[in-house]
Structure 1
Amino acid sequence: MDPITLILTALAAGATAAAKDTAGTAVKDAYEGLKALIKKKFTDQGKADSSTILDKYVQKPEKTEALLEDELKDVGLDKLKDEDEIIKLAQEILKKGDPKGASTGKYEVSIQGSRQFQVGDNNLQHNA
């Protein structure tokens, strides 16, 4: 799974889990940590306004996904590797929400020399 898809999927899963009373504190903590790291990345790159898009994505992902995807790419999150903390938190959220998928490697990040690609379930690609 590419880093952007992983992050977007984890944000959506984390928002869903956090809205439920049954979600464990580990998932909620990982979700809040992921959002905080992304917001810090936006601020560090001089894109503090992008935090608003992140907040809107959490509320209505279907309407703001393309905007947030562009903002995540603009700050370089599409180039993250498995060892980066943002990726680790995103994987943690998804592993706790989908242990079966995690055990098959569904949420592992691997990109090598690709220009355009899609990996995962129910993908949508926007070409500029």
Structure 2
Amino acid sequence: MTGVELILTALAAGAATGAGLGAKETVSMMITDTYRGLKTLLRAKLGTRSDAVAVVDADHTEPATLRAALVPALIDSGAEADQEILDKARELLAQLEEPAGKYMVDNRGAKGVVIGDHTSQTNHFH
């Protein structure tokens, strides 16, 4: 994946989770912070390219929309080769791949299941 594709993918994925709208129940604060951090780095790198900065701020979820509006600005500004930006984009994508919850549970075939912290259960199976 090229630097441009990495950045566009991370921006679209972050926006799709709602990270740009603030932390929702399904979006951890860590993801929101990383997404905002990526956007901050991009704004600084894009500088006076106000059209490109507006696109970054708009939280587009479609990579095609981002591609059409940002590719020239990312290349001209050097953002597509900026290691700090690329690292932040990779960090965001890695966070988005992690399971959303604290537990990953597969309870197929289970009997009498309790999931969570500080729970108690007594079962009498016949």
Normalising by the smaller structure, the TM-score range is 0.5 to 0.7
Q: Any idea what SS the aligned residue of 1:22 has?
A: coil
Greater gyration radius: 2
Query: Structure 2 CA distance, aligned partners of 1:95 and 1:15?
Result: 15
Higher RCO (CA 8 Å, separation ≥ 6 residues) = 1
Moved more, 33-42 or 18-27: 18-27
Query: Structure 1 CA distance, aligned partners of 2:61 and 2:10?
Result: 14
Paired residue type of 1:67: A
- What corresponds to 1:41 in structure 2? 45
Q: Any idea what SS the aligned residue of 1:30 has?
A: helix
Q: CA RMSD in A?
A: 2.1
- What corresponds to 1:106 in structure 2? none
Q: Per-residue CA shift, 1:21-77, capped at 9, x if unaligned? A: 31111111000000011001111xx32342112234x23534342121111111012
Matched, 1:26 2:30: yes
CA contact (8 A) 2:13 2:61 kept: no
Gaps of 5+ in 1: 101-128
What is the TM-score with the length of structure 2 in the denominator?
A: 0.64
Gaps of 5+ in 2: 100-126
* Identical amino acids, percent of aligned pairs: 35
| Aligned pairs (5 A) from 1:57-68 | 58-59=59-60, 61=62, 62-68=64-70
Number of corresponding residues? 94
What is the TM-score with the length of structure 1 in the denominator?
A: 0.63
